[in-house]
Chain A
Amino acid sequence: MPMLTIKNLTKSYNDKKILDGLNLAVNENEIVAVMGKSGSGKTTLLLCILGFIVPEAGEISFDGQNIISLPIEKKQIAYVPQDYGLFPHLSVQDNIGFGLAVRGQDAEARKKKVRELLKIAELPDELGQRNVEKISGGEKQRVALARALAIQPKLFLLDEPLSAIDIETKESVGRELRALIKKLRLPAIIITHDPTDAKNLGDTLYYLNNGKLEKK
């Protein structure tokens, strides 16, 4: 049985249907890569799942429960935007501990959890003190994943995860990212415009065209 099911998702902008009765099923531990040209509705799909955009019609259910009306902060969906979305005013450890801090977890417990998460993301302990703007692209990506993991997510949503990585290291960073998501045993949806990235990262590939998903 799929973990995430999207049925008949429809969303229009200025009378143009961006998502037109879109259907998708994501199984446990499956990484789904969604490709599409810019403006094809990839980000709209992602924001609908996240709950930031309300679709006109359709159903999004997770583990049998309809999550469409759940507030975004209650969905436990780990969202990593294109440039990782790290908070530039916070250190690596404060970024990772952000979700715990807003849940009111005390500083000592947070520190312990952050150390665990750094280890899971295969990042050195001493990176915790560093400024997020002074670490490499690959490290930023791992910090973003570690931060997302802190909230014990049920699903990963990654928007163009390799677009900010330089071409020389793209393949290895992509391989490491895939291995890390697989290790976490969580379903993931990855949005990308690059077919090579989609092939390197995803188990199942879809192409978003005319508001619908076509399996590749």
Chain B
Amino acid sequence: MNRTEKDKTNFFIKISSWSWIAWFIIPYLFLFVVFFVKFDAASAVLQDGRFWSAFLISFSSAVVVVLLTAFFAIPVAYFLTYSSFRYNNFVEALLIDIPQTFPPVAVGVIYLFMLGPSSPINIAFTFTAVVIAKLLVSAPFTIGYTLRKFREIKNSKLDLVARSLGAGARDVLFRVLIPLARRDITAGLTLSWARAMGEFGGSLIFAGVISYKTEILPTYASRVVDANPFLALAATALLTIFALFTIIIVRSLFKRKVE
């Protein structure tokens, strides 16, 4: 490759990378610029009781989702690491990949029929419905991160060494797998929490938008955007701040791990 061709290639790589980066950064900058320029109008959200209720429901349901995920993800990841059954790959895809690509609205529709007014167990349009809708799309992050790390430990044969030293399954889990996967489990839980905070489609269909009962921040933003766009903007800015904090925490965890 001669010098001119090399320069052209470098130029193309830089231009495409920077335009891609700008495409993703501009909306965030726009959001915060408008938020601060129109701060008086947007800050009205802080006096809106409905907003605070939506915030609390979002926050508390995300906390419940994270607690449930933390309780189940580790045994599930352990099971998938050490079990070899016929449909292992399919079950793994069902628990990790499919929920991340499945349209959230479809999740809501399925739950509405399965656990809604037409079923014997009717929990639609309740706080529990918010949690269930969020759990399906949020838990896969933690299960995926934990499973990947457990497999890495298994491939390094550290579990085998522990067993040869006399450790039973419980000791391997608590003395080797969990301590070594600590950062990955934390990173997975942080992403699950962020996803639970931002979940929209499933909750909208299955839990509905009942103010002070099932209304969460994303549904609040969607409802107020026509009447008062700045309230929606403020709610969106808060959600974005939460997401950014999450990513910063996850990045710093992994950076420390590399160091």
List residues 60-83 of chain A with CB under 8 A from any CB of chain B.
72-75, 77-81, 83
Q: Which of A47, A75, A101, A148 contacts B175 (CB 8 A)?
A: A101
Contacts of A52 in B (CB 8 A): 160, 163
The verdict on B165 contacting chain A, using a C-beta distance below 8 Å, is yes
Contacts of A72 in B (CB 8 A): 160, 163-164
The verdict on A180 contacting chain B, using a C-beta distance below 8 Å, is no
Number of interface residues of A (CB under 8 A): 26
Q: How far is the CA of A102 from the CA of B164 in the complex (A)?
A: 11
The verdict on A85 contacting chain B, using a C-beta distance below 8 Å, is yes
Q: Which of A47, A74, A79, A101 contacts B161 (CB 8 A)?
A: A79
Q: Would A89 and B160 count as touching, CB distance under 8 A?
A: no
Contacts of A73 in B (CB 8 A): 163-168
In whole Å, how far is A141's beta carbon from the nearest beta carbon of chain B? 14
The verdict on A45 contacting chain B, using a C-beta distance below 8 Å, is no
Q: Is the interface of B mostly helix, strand, loop or mixed?
A: helix
Q: Report, as a range, how many residues of chain B touch the other chain.
A: 10 to 19
In whole Å, how far is A135's beta carbon from the nearest beta carbon of chain B? 17
In whole Å, how far is A130's beta carbon from the nearest beta carbon of chain B? 18
Q: Would B167 and A102 count as touching, CB distance under 8 A?
A: yes
In whole Å, how far is B163's beta carbon from the nearest beta carbon of chain A? 5
List residues 160-181 of chain B with CB under 8 A from any CB of chain A.
160-168, 171, 175-176, 179-180
* Residue of chain A at shortest CB distance from B168: A73
Contacts of B175 in A (CB 8 A): 98, 101-102
The verdict on A11 contacting chain B, using a C-beta distance below 8 Å, is no
Closest 7 CB pairs between A and B? Answer: A99-B165, A85-B161, A79-B164, A102-B167, A102-B171, A72-B163, A81-B157
User: A72-B160, A102-B162, A151-B165 given. 10 additional CB < 8 A pairs?
Assistant: A73-B167, A74-B166, A81-B156, A81-B157, A85-B158, A85-B160, A89-B180, A98-B175, A102-B168, A102-B175
